[in-house]
Structures are given as C-alpha cells and as structure tokens.
C-alpha cells in the first residue's frame, strides 16, 4: 500500500475533528472558532492521546500563517478606505484609550507579580491587543455583523493592528538597544508611517486602473488568481519593509474593497479563506498545554480577568468619548475582550531577543485561548450589562452621554467653513504629494543608483549619478508643482476678509514653499554632496516656475482626477445606479450649483470696468451668466462687457462661493436683488419659461468624442468660452463629478461636459449630435 505524505494525513485528522467539534458548537449555539480550538487541542497530542494526533506540526503552522493572511485579506475586502474613514475618529479614540489604559494596567499587574521590567512591559502591550479574527468570527457566528457596534469594533481593531505594528517596532528597538532612544524610535516609526501612506496612495492609483483594463480578460478563475496574487505580493512587500504580513494582506483587501469588483472577489475568496482560516484556529488549539495551565493557573485567571474587565472599561470609555451611545459602546467593547494573536508574535519576539522570561509565552497563549472562549459569553451578556449600567448610573451621567452623542452626530453633518475647506485642501496636497516626492527620492537614492551602478560599473559613476538626478528631478518637479497648488476659491475669500487671515495664510504658504525647496535640494546634496546654500539659491526660482506652470498643472490635475475616481469607484457606481433608478441622472450638477440675482447699486465702486478687469471668475470663483444693462440682455457675457451702476446680473457658483461673493462685494455696492433669494440653478433655468428664447440661459450636457479638437487641450485653451460662448460649469469623468474644474485641467475623450449657454449655442451643438 502506497504511504501518504504526512501533510495529507495531518490535514485529514484536523479537518475531520474540526468538522465534528464545530457541529457540536453550532448545536450549542457557540462560535465555530471554539470548535476549531478544541479540535486543535485534541489533535495536538500534548494531553489527549486516544485521538489521532498531528505529526508534522511545522507544516500545519505554515498553513496557519497562510490562514492568517487570508483572514486579514477577507477582512480588508469588507473595509475599504471609505469604510475605515467612516469609523475613523471613534475607532482611533477607542483604540488609543484602550491601548493606553490596558497597557498601563498590564504593566502594573506585571510589577505586582514581581516580574522583571521587560516582562511587565511586554505583558502590558500584549494585553492591549485584541484579536481581529476572533472578534470577526464571533460577530459573524452570532449574526450581529450588520449591527452598528460591529463597524465600530472593526474600525477599532484596525487601528489596534496598526498600533501593534508600531509596538513591535518600539519593543524591538528598546530590546536591541537595551534602552529607549527617542531619535531611533521616532525614525523607525516615521519610516513605517511613510511606507504605509505611500503604499495606499500608489495602490489606490494603480490597482483599480489595472482592473479596469484587464477585467474583460478575467473570468472567475483568473480574477481569483489575480486577487490572491495581489494579496500575497502585498503581504511579502510588507514583510520586506518592516511591516507585518497581516497588515499587507489587509491593505490588499481594502484596496480591492473600493473597486466595483469587491463583491465578486469576496464571493470567490470566501471558500479559500474559510479553509485556511479554520487551520489557523486549529493551530491555536495546539498551544493549549494542560501542565502549564495548572502550574500558572491563578496567574492566568488573574491576567484574564484583568484583561476582560480592563478592555470593557477602557473600550467603553473610548467609544463614549468619541460620541457613541452607551449600548453601542458596551457591545463594541464586549466583542473585543480577548487577547489577540498579535500577542503570540510579541511574546515570540521577546523570547527571540532574549529580553523576556521563558514562562511568559505559554502564559499569554493560555490567556488568549481562555479569553477567546469567554468572548462570546461576554458579548451575549453585553446588553444585560448595558441595562444594568442604565439603572445604576446617575441620570445626570446618562443625560450627558446622550447629549454628547447627539452633539457629535450633529457636528458630523455640519458644513465646513472656508478655513476648514482650505486647510483640508492644503493638507491633502501637502501630504499626498510631499510623501510621493519623498518616496521618489528614497527610491532613487536607495534602489535606482545602486542598481545602475551594478549594471554600469564604477567607471561610470558620474554618468549614473547625472542620469539618476535627471530622472528624479523630472518626477519631483511635477509633484512639487502639485504640492504647491492653492485652492483659490477658499484662499481668496479668506485673504480678502482681513490682515489676520493673511498672516496665517502667508505662514502656511511659506512652510509649504520651504518644504518644496528642501525636496529639490535633497537629491543633489545626497548624490553630489553640494553645499546646501548653493542648491537653495538654484531651487527657489525653479519652485516658483513650477508653481506657475500651466503645463505641469494639467498633468497633476489629471492624476488627481484618476486618483479620486479610483478611490470612490464603488461609491460612484452605487450613486449612478441609484440616480438611474430614481430617474435623476446627472442631477448632482443642478443640485450643487446655485444662482443669485444681484444689482449694482448707486454706490457701486467699479463703474465702467469690464468683466475681464473685474476677474470675478479667478478671484471669487463665480460666473456671470446673464447681465441686463437697461433693455440689453447679454447671455454668457464676454469679458469686454462693462458693468455699471444699475446693471442686474445672474451669478452662479456653489452656495459657499456665492455667500463669499455677497459678503465681499456688498461693501463695494453689489447687493442681492430685493425679493429674491439664492436658488438651485435648475430652478432658475426652469423659471425662465415665460421669457423670450434669446433671453434664456440653458444648461446642457455634451460628451467629448475622440475626434473633437478639444480633446487633449486644457479647459483654458479649448475654445469653449471664446468659440462656443459657453461656460463649462462641471464635468463627469469615469462617473466622478468635478464641479468648477480648474482651467488648466486637460479634457479627455468620453468626458461629459456641462455647459451654460444660449439657445443658439444649444441648437448648433444639437445639430451636430453632440448634446447628451
């Protein structure tokens, strides 16, 4: 009889036992994860000998590591960047307060047990780490996945996983140096943050773009292989740059979760995830050692009780601080009362580095297994616990909790002012392009030059350096131009409101300008060791020219449009389907664009100036779409038309832009007409039905065809205003709506342009079959 490989026999044993134990758990209405751990205990051979036991433990451990990767990948498929952002503040607050509170509690517990300093430090960090997989499995098995607390718990656990990565960096740095070096520590953490953000930026830009081009070639089989390849490639890259494979797999899943193929990928991956996930949980059961449990029984029970109670208290406090209701906070905390598998990794790190005692690893494994069993029990008891707290807590406290929760919900829906919107744009461009520019420098210095030197040899050192510098600066100039972009629609409104605003704005722009100069100086300094002063003198005019270049602006605006379309791909697809089902396609344009009627009073200060001289479009980002001068009516008036006292105008823009316009121009004699109010552009257009055709303003859509001369040109040079006598008020690209696009943005085939014009213009375009 042919002998079977050990791996096949071992898989047969653990799968057969897992099938039996999970059926028993299902019958008892317990999470199946407990059945897997029980199967591992029975098959491990450490205490139970009358069951067939696993022989190749190392092979099963390898498969369990693959299981962790698949579980994290599957988790990522359910949590896109958007979904993580939705629970961002509550998740960060809850995870941070829990990690700090439980970490300190665990440290002092270790000290009370008279353990060594490093044992106590490691214990505190390990107790602060909950298990994403066990929490997810418990919530799924209890049918609570759609509850509000589940999203909060998952968001908190994602932050905890990231904190666990940083904890590994901190602990390994302390262990290796035998002391805490702030500079080295911050350097390593900063590098991890940089890689993480750079990874997300490039992933969001590249992955959906590739899938759009390749999706026609992908049947279910190919899509599954592509998805798993992405998962393992990102997990491997994560390990190579000092992150964990778990985080890499999670990021791969979260990138795919933002695409329109997420549900299909999740459906294909689920069977694979379930198989290898089961093997992982079975391997956890291997670590249950009855002899060790008996020896340290009271210590294990004490640590478990402290961990459960500590997590309940601090996670609840964190969620309450983030404005979550009491019941949601308690349920979210109850689902995370286990010590997670990251604690195994941290315990192993301590043993490997020789800084922790030998007993710590088996103790923490036992605590993790015990708290895994108690998690579903605590979760089931969370609602009765919440009811108990509502009875016991003073009414003033409950009223304060309710008031804080409602206030946070109200604040989350309040519109942002000019400062908030300007700072959001400022930080977005500063951080996004600053990190990309830093990444370009690091790739060039650490990888490009060394690899070129290997190929070309030391005799061509100067040639290699010159070529590498040329490549680096070609990329850097484009990125720095984008980094220096100013969101003028909010900048101008803030600038015109007073000197106090101008001081802050100038400070922010100076900081960003200095950072851009520094980024240009660094490559030459690192490669050629030129004195920084000389480089700074050369870099300053280059940065100024890059910031003013319209050609460069067109390039980075196209990058941003694709990045935002990829980032929001799934949401945009859902939004389009919803609009089509409601018969409201493209209504975003008329709902976001507003209009007001204004009149230039007797005190109008800019009499006789033309619209081109007033330059309201560039300064205040509004458009004059109709001007009445006596009995003369100008539809989409040209720049040469002069504005005098008594003239009436219809102006369009966003609500914020129009409010800024009225706020600034009222003191200059331009006021809103009496008896009128701001209204959606759609309502204004519909209100013109009784007017003669030549006095009506129309809004119409037009798709750009690849043979049209406007394709590839910027909006400024496309001739839309000069040749068509129309205003481009917005466009759609890949379902992404872009209102008031930048004049230097390049037009592409397939863009849907939204134009304001008159009847003659609309008739001419309709005759050519160009209108939507």
Distance, CA of 497 to chain centre: 33
Q: Is the pLDDT of residue 192 over 70?
A: no
Q: Is the pLDDT of residue 346 over 50?
A: yes
> Three-state DSSP class for 689?
coil
- Which tokens is 48 given? 């139970």
* Residue 207, number of CB atoms within 10 A of its CB: 18
Partners of 728 in the β-ladder = 755
Going by C-alpha positions, the residue among 68, 432, 6, 9 that lies closest to residue 279 is 68
Q: Is the pLDDT of residue 413 over 70?
A: no
Q: Is the pLDDT of residue 174 over 70?
A: no
> Three-state DSSP class for 669?
coil
Q: Give me the pLDDT at residue 745, please.
A: 85
Going by C-alpha positions, the residue among 627, 621, 609 that lies closest to residue 697 is 627
Going by C-alpha positions, the residue among 610, 636, 627 that lies closest to residue 724 is 636
**347 in Cβ contact with 125 (< 8 Å):** no
Q: Give me the pLDDT at residue 305, please.
A: 92
C-alpha 182/C-alpha 170 separation (Å) is 10
Minimum mean pLDDT among 64-73, 142-151, 545-554: which range?
142-151
Q: Give me the pLDDT at residue 281, please.
A: 80
Q: pLDDT tens digits, residue range 35-92?
A: 887 888 788 766 666 667 777 777 888 888 888 888 888 877 876 666 666 656 677 7
β-pairing verdict for 648-653 and 594-600: antiparallel
User: Quick one: angle between helices 132-141 and 262-286, nearest 10?
Assistant: 110
Q: Give me the pLDDT at residue 414, please.
A: 40
- Which tokens is 412 given? 């989350």
Q: pLDDT tens digits, residue range 118-146?
A: 888 888 888 888 877 677 777 777 777 76
- Which tokens is 556 given? 């980075």
Q: Is the pLDDT of residue 2 over 60?
A: no
Minimum mean pLDDT among 43-52, 134-143, 348-357, 655-664: which range?
43-52
pTM value is 0.68
DSSP, residue by residue, 725-767: --EEEEEEETTEEEES--TTPBP-TT-EEEEEE-HHHHHHHHH
DSSP 244: -
- Which tokens is 36 given? 């897997």
DSSP 3: P
Question: Of 576 and 16, which is predicted with more confidence?
Answer: 16
pLDDT band at 415 (very low <50, low <70, confident <90, very high): very low
Tokens 């020789």 -> residue: 354
> Three-state DSSP class for 652?
strand
Q: Is the pLDDT of residue 416 over 60?
A: no
- Which tokens is 134 given? 């066990």
C-alpha 427/C-alpha 415 separation (Å) is 18
Phi-psi region of 242 (alpha: psi -120 to 50; beta: other; left: phi over 0): left
C-alpha 398/C-alpha 386 separation (Å) is 12
What mean pLDDT do residues 8-25 have?
86
**268 in Cβ contact with 219 (< 8 Å):** no
C-alpha 210/C-alpha 17 separation (Å) is 42
What mean pLDDT do residues 200-206 have?
76
HEC secondary structure over 338-403:
CCCCHHHHHHHHHHHHCCCCCCHHHHHHHHHHHHHHHHHHHHHCHHHHHHHHHHHCCHHHHHHHHH
DSSP 620: H
- Which tokens is 614 given? 């007033």
Q: Give me the pLDDT at residue 177, please.
A: 57
Question: Of 227 and 140, which is predicted with more confidence?
Answer: 227
Question: Of 577 and 590, which is predicted with more confidence?
Answer: 577
Going by C-alpha positions, the residue among 506, 509, 374, 507 that lies closest to residue 429 is 509
- Give the rounded percent of residues in the chain with a pLDDT score beyond 90: 3
Q: Give me the pLDDT at residue 85, please.
A: 61
Q: Give me the pLDDT at residue 232, please.
A: 92
**734 in Cβ contact with 565 (< 8 Å):** yes
C-alpha 747/C-alpha 743 separation (Å) is 10
Q: Is the pLDDT of residue 182 over 60?
A: no
Minimum mean pLDDT among 213-222, 582-591, 744-753: which range?
582-591
Q: Mean pLDDT over all residues of the chain?
A: 79
Distance, CA of 4 to chain centre: 48
**402 in Cβ contact with 394 (< 8 Å):** no
Q: Is the pLDDT of residue 604 over 80?
A: yes
Tokens 């722009």 -> residue: 509
What mean pLDDT do residues 525-533 have?
81
- Which tokens is 424 given? 């959001």
pLDDT band at 228 (very low <50, low <70, confident <90, very high): very high
Q: pLDDT tens digits, residue range 679-722?
A: 888 888 888 877 887 778 888 778 888 888 888 888 888 888 77
> Three-state DSSP class for 560?
helix
Tokens 């897992």 -> residue: 18
Q: Give me the pLDDT at residue 172, please.
A: 67
Q: Give me the pLDDT at residue 3, please.
A: 65
């Amino acid at each position: 009889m042919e002998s079977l490989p050990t791996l096949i026999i071992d898989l047969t044993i653990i799968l057969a036992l897992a099938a039996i134990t999970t059926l028993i758990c299902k019958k008892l209405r317990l999470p199946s994860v407990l059945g897997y751990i029980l199967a591992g205990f029975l098959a491990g051979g450490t205490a139970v000998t009358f069951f067939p036991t696993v022989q190749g433990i190392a092979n099963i451990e390898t498969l369990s590591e693959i299981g962790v990767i698949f579980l994290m990948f599957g988790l990522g498929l359910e949590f896109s960047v958007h979904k993580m952002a939705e629970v961002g503040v509550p998740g960060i607050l809850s995870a941070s307060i829990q990690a700090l509170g439980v970490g300190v509690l665990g440290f002092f517990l270790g000290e009370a047990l008279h353990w060594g300093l490093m044992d106590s430090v490691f214990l505190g960090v390990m107790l602060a780490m909950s298990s994403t997989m066990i929490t997810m499995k418990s919530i799924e098995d209890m049918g609570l996945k759609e509850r509000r607390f589940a999203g909060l718990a998952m968001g908190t656990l994602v932050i905890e996983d990231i904190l666990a990565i940083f904890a590994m960096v901190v602990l390994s740095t302390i262990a290796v140096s035998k002391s805490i070096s702030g500079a080295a520590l911050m350097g390593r953490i900063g590098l991890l943050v940089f890689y993480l953000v750079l990874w997300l930026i490039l992933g969001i830009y590249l992955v959906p773009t590739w899938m759009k081009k390749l999706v026609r070639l992908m049947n279910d089989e190919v899509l599954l292989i592509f998805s798993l390849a992405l998962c393992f490639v990102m997990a491997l890259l994560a390990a190579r740059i000092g992150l964990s494979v778990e985080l890499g797999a999670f990021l791969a899943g979260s990138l795919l979760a933002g695409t329109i193929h997420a549900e299909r990928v999740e459906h294909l991956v689920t069977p694979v995830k379930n198989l290898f996930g089961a093997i992982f949980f079975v391997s956890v059961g291997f670590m249950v050692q009855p002899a060790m449990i008996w020896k340290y029984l009271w210590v294990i029970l004490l640590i478990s009780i402290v961990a459960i109670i500590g997590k309940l208290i601090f996670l609840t406090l964190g969620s309450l601080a983030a404005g979550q209701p009491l019941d949601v906070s308690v349920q979210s905390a109850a689902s995370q009362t286990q010590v997670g598998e990251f604690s195994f990794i941290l315990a192993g790190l301590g043993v490997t580095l020789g800084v922790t005692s030998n007993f710590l690893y088996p103790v923490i494994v036992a605590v993790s297994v015990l708290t895994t069993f108690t998690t579903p029990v605590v979760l089931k008891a969370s609602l009765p616990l919440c009811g108990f707290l509502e009875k016991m807590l003073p009414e003033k406290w409950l009223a304060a909790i309710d008031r804080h929760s409602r206030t946070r919900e109200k604040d989350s829906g309040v519109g942002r002012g000019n400062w908030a919107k300007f700072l959001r744009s400022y930080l977005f461009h500063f951080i996004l392009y600053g990190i990309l520019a830093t990444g370009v420098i690091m790739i060039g210095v650490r990888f490009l030059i060394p690899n070129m030197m290997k190929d070309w040899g030391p005799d061509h050192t100067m040639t290699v350096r010159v070529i590498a510098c040329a490549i680096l600066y070609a990329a850097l100039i484009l990125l720095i131009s984008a980094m220096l972009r100013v969101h003028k629609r909010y900048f101008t409104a803030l600038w015109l409101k007073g000197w106090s605003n101008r001081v802050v704005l100038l400070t922010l722009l100076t900081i960003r300008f200095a950072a851009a100069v520094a980024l240009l100086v660094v490559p030459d300094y690192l490669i050629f060791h030129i004195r920084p002063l000389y480089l700074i003198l050369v870099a300053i005019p280059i940065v100024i020219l890059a910031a003013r270049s319209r050609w460069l602006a067109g390039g980075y605006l196209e990058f941003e449009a694709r990045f935002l379309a990829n980032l929001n791909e799934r949401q945009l697809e859902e939004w389009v389907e919803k609009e089509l089902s409601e018969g409201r396609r493209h209504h975003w344009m008329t709902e976001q664009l507003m209009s007001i009627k204004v009149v230039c009073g007797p005190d109008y200060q800019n009499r006789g100036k033309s619209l081109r001289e007033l330059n309201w479009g560039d300064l205040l980002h509004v458009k004059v779409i109709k001007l009445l001068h006596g009995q003369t009516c100008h539809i989409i008036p040209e720049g040469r038309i002069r504005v005098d006292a008594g003239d009436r105008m219809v102006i369009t823009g966003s609500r914020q832009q129009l409010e800024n316009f009225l706020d600034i121009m009222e003191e200059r004699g331009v006021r809103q007409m009496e008896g009128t109010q701001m209204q959606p552009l759609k309502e204004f257009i519909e209100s013109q039905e009784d007017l003669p055709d030549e006095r009506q303003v129309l809004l119409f859509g037009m798709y750009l065809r690849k043979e049209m001369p406007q394709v590839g040109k910027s909006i400024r040079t496309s001739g839309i205003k000069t040749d068509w006598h129309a205003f481009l008020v917005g466009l759609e690209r890949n379902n992404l709506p872009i209102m008031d696009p930048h004049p230097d943005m390049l037009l592409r085939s397939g863009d849907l342009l939204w134009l304001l014009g008159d009847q003659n213009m609309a008739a001419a375009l309709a005759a050519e079959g160009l209108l939507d």
